[in-house]
């Protein structure tokens, strides 16, 4: 009872932390009330993740400085958000004519800094009432020799009664950069009424023409047809084959021992005494399966919550939600991994608990520390503050670890008793030689092709959303693709396992897991192709960031798909060996 209460308390705390997020206001204004313009980051256009503090360029601030620094959420900190007050005075529904707000002397150092930024197509991001605004620092002339900087910001803000609905920025008054000149920066604000409701104000940022293109719909249809084909194929092959096997093995009572032995010279029944033998490295295997359950649960919950609550409209909210959901679902990891390890008769359950709890966070943190080291070297806003590192460590030690322990204890006691339909022989059966295409490595690589094909098009949309300048919002599509991926992976691994068992190779556990996980290998190959042929990224920082976090993404995808494959294959194996075999 105390364990259940503790688990419930943890969950309540996590839900509270997740859904209570502080805004600078409640999105309602009175006439003349202050509207804050926050400056976020600046960086090269082709390297979206290579961002720096806006004032790392020698921009000047306005005179208004009464507001304290914005305090970012956990998700915003990790994503590199650095909001700072602009000092520009904006008041609700009060037009502002062209007004100078600051000036700088363009020293040779400032000249070089701005010129470098303009040559590399630096863009910047601002926020008004949580609405993002993008602008370009400047542009080169046609000959590419002289740099020009935009010195005037013209804001057009749409409002509906007491709410801000729309913000547009127009950059004007470009000035040629020359050393030791004075640069005067100015702005103006125009307010315009609109009938667009507050609930629809984010729609302008969603590229419906891109995400709901007929190619997207066609890819979903093709993937769905692939599911029908695979399910039909698996059903036809297995039912026709197994019906004969069931009929033959059901006649055992009418056969003497010699006839039974002659009838069982080959096939999957020959390995019934070894098929439920624990796999090699059972502790690692159980930990990966538990992590796969957790990743799948978090993925499904994030998709469903985003469909209902549109988390993508709030800065960093989806990422924060994923972090806290991962912590809250650690009990799922512990239960699945702990119970499986117990059924494998593993004795090092505390070690398995620790490996299961920290294997995925440790890999993510390892990549994050590498990227963070480079971020600090570059002075990027992507560098993670030490306080955030402490927060993540606290989440791992005081939430993930205890919940994993609770799940492990529950799993070992509730479903940790082996209940295999076959007895396992004391001496392992030798594995006969087989053709090259029946080798586990070949089967593993071949098994990932169809699952990758079912998500190939969706990967393009997801990559473009994260690595380019689109906001992914079609989570209904993502839900369909998620389910299609699960079904295709299960079907493919079942067929692969059946062929292996017919070849009298009983090492199906790792093969089923790796067969499902191999689709992530093809996703990473596609990520390499995408980097070189679909983007214009450059530089060490962006390259390490891209390939490091794509490796983390593919690792998580592989663990999840491997778990799908194992779950489906385990059910299949238990089913076919439930007939009378002794």
pLDDT score of 206: 94
Per-residue pLDDT of the chain (582 residues), as tens digits, is: 444 444 444 444 444 444 434 344 578 999 999 999 999 999 999 999 999 999 999 999 998 776 655 667 889 999 999 899 999 999 999 999 999 999 999 999 999 999 999 999 999 999 999 999 999 999 999 888 899 999 999 999 999 999 999 999 999 999 999 999 999 999 999 999 999 999 999 999 999 888 987 888 888 888 889 888 888 888 887 777 667 766 666 555 555 544 454 444 467 888 989 999 999 999 999 999 999 999 999 999 999 999 999 999 998 999 999 999 999 999 999 999 999 999 999 999 999 999 999 999 999 999 999 999 999 999 999 999 999 999 999 999 999 999 999 999 999 999 989 888 888 998 999 999 889 999 999 999 999 999 999 999 999 999 999 999 999 999 999 999 999 999 999 999 999 999 999 899 999 999 999 999 999 999 999 999 999 999 999 999 999 999 999 999 999 999 999 999 999 999 999 988 886 554
Beta-carbon contacts of 288 under 8 Å, excluding residues fewer than 6 positions away, are 359, 513, 559, 562, 563
pLDDT score of 27: 87
Contact between 53 and 82 under an 8 Å Cβ cutoff? The reply is yes
Which segments of 226-310 are extended strands (E)? none
Residue 447 sits at φ, ψ, to 5 deg, of -70, -20
pLDDT score of 266: 60
Beta-carbon contacts of 284 under 8 Å, excluding residues fewer than 6 positions away, are 355
Contact between 124 and 135 under an 8 Å Cβ cutoff? The reply is yes
Q: Which residue has the tokens 């159980």?
A: 286
Phi-psi label, residue 169: left if phi above 0, alpha if psi -120 to 50, beta otherwise: beta
> What is the DSSP annotation of 521-579?
HHHHHHHHHHHHHT----SHHHHHHHHHHHHHHHHHHHHHHHHHHHHHHHHHHHHHTTS
Measuring CA to CA, how many Å separate 516 from each of 65, 304, 331, 436, 520?
A: 56, 24, 24, 20, 8
- DSSP letter at 49? T
H/E segment holding residue 52? strand 52-53
Q: Tell me how long the chain is.
A: 582
pLDDT score of 67: 64
Sign of dihedral through CA atoms 291, 294, 298, 299? Answer: positive
pLDDT score of 70: 60
> What is the DSSP annotation of 314-344?
STTHHHHHHHHHHHHTHHHHHHHHHHHHHHT
- DSSP letter at 91? E
Q: Are strands 84-85 and 131-136 parallel, antiparallel or unpaired?
A: unpaired
**C-alpha–C-alpha distance, residues 549 and 364, integer Å:** 8
**C-alpha–C-alpha distance, residues 537 and 120, integer Å:** 11
Sign of dihedral through CA atoms 361, 365, 366, 367? Answer: positive
Contact between 263 and 245 under an 8 Å Cβ cutoff? The reply is no
Contact between 363 and 436 under an 8 Å Cβ cutoff? The reply is no
pLDDT score of 581: 53
Cα 548–chain centre separation: 13
- DSSP letter at 194? -
Contact between 269 and 581 under an 8 Å Cβ cutoff? The reply is yes
The 3 state secondary structure assigned to 132-187 is EEEEECEEECCCCCCEEEEEEEEEEEEEECCEEEEEEEEEEEEEECCCCCEEEEEE
**C-alpha–C-alpha distance, residues 361 and 370, integer Å:** 14
pLDDT score of 262: 42
Q: How many CB atoms lie within 10 A of CB 468?
A: 11
Q: Are strands 90-91 and 34-35 parallel, antiparallel or unpaired?
A: antiparallel
Residue 32 sits at φ, ψ, to 5 deg, of 90, -10
Cα 434–chain centre separation: 39
Closest CA to 171 of 229, 118, 234, 221: 118
pLDDT score of 143: 87
Which segments of 424-536 are extended strands (E)? none
Q: Which long-range contacts (CB under 8 A, 24 or more apart) does 533-536 make?
A: 534/463, 534/464, 535/46, 535/467, 535/468, 536/46
Contact between 87 and 63 under an 8 Å Cβ cutoff? The reply is yes
């Amino acid at each position: 009872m105390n364990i259940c209460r503790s688990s419930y308390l943890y969950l309540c705390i996590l839900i509270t932390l997740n859904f209570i997020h502080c805004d600078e206001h409640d999105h309602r204004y009175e006439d003349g009330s202050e509207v804050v313009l926050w400056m976020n980051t600046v960086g090269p256009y082709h390297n979206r993740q290579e961002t720096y503090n806006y004032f790392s360029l020698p921009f000047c601030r306005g005179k208004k400085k009464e507001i304290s620094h914005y305090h970012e959420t956990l998700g915003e900190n990790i994503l590199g958000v650095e909001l700072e007050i602009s000092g520009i005075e904006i008041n609700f529904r009060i037009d502002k004519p062209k007004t100078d707000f600051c000036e700088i002397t363009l020293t040779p150092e400032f000249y070089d800094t701005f010129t470098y930024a303009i040559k590399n197509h630096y863009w910047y991001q601002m926020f008004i009432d949580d609405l993002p605004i993008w602008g370009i620092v400047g542009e080169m002339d046609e000959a590419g020799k002289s740099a020009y900087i935009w010195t005037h910001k013209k804001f057009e803000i749409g409002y509906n009664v007491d709410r801000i609905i729309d913000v547009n920025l127009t950059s004007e008054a470009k000035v040629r950069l020359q050393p030791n000149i004075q640069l005067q920066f100015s702005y103006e604000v125009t307010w315009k009424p609109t009938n667009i409701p507050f609930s629809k104000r984010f729609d302008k940022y969603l590229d419906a023409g891109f995400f709901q293109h007929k190619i997207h719909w066609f890819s979903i249809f093709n993937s769905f047809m692939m599911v029908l084909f695979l399910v039909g194929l698996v059903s036809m092959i297995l039912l026709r084959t197994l019906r004969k096997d069931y009929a033959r093995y059901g006649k055992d009572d009418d056969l003497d021992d010699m006839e039974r032995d002659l009838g069982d010279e080959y096939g999957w029944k020959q390995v019934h005494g070894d098929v439920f033998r624990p796999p090699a490295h059972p502790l690692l295997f159980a930990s990966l399966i538990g992590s796969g359950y957790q990743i799948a649960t978090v993925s499904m919950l994030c998709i469903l919550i985003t469909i209902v609550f549109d988390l993508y409209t709030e800065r960093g909210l989806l990422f924060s939600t994923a972090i806290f959901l991962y912590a809250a679902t650690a009990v799922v990891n512990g239960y699945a991994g702990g119970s499986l390890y117990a059924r494998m008769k593993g004795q090092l359950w505390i070690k398995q608990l620790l490996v299961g709890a920290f294997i995925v966070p440790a890999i993510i943190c390892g990549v994050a520390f590498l990227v963070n080291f480079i971020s600090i070297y570059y002075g990027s806003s992507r560098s993670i503050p030490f306080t955030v590192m402490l927060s993540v460590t606290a989440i791992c030690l005081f939430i993930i670890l205890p919940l994993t322990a609770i799940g492990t204890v529950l799993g070992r006691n509730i479903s940790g008793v082996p209940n295999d339909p076959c007895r396992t022989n004391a001496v392992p059966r030798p594995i006969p030689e087989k053709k090259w295409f029946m080798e586990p490595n070949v089967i593993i690589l071949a098994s990932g092709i169809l699952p990758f094909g079912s998500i190939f098009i969706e990967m393009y949309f997801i990559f473009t959303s994260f690595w380019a300048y689109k906001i992914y919002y079609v989570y209904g599509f993502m839900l369909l693709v998620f389910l299609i991926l699960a079904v295709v992976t299960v079907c493919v691994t079942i067929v692969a396992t059946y062929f292996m068992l017919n070849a009298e190779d009983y090492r199906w556990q790792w093969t089923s897991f790796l067969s499902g996980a191999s689709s992530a290998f093809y996703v990473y190959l596609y990520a390499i192709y995408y980097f070189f042929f679909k983007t214009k990224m450059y530089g060490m920082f962006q390259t390490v960031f891209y390939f490091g976090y794509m490796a983390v993404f593919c690792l998580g995808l592989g663990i999840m798909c491997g778990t799908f494959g194992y779950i489906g294959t385990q059910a299949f194996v238990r089913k076919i060996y439930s007939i009378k075999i002794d």
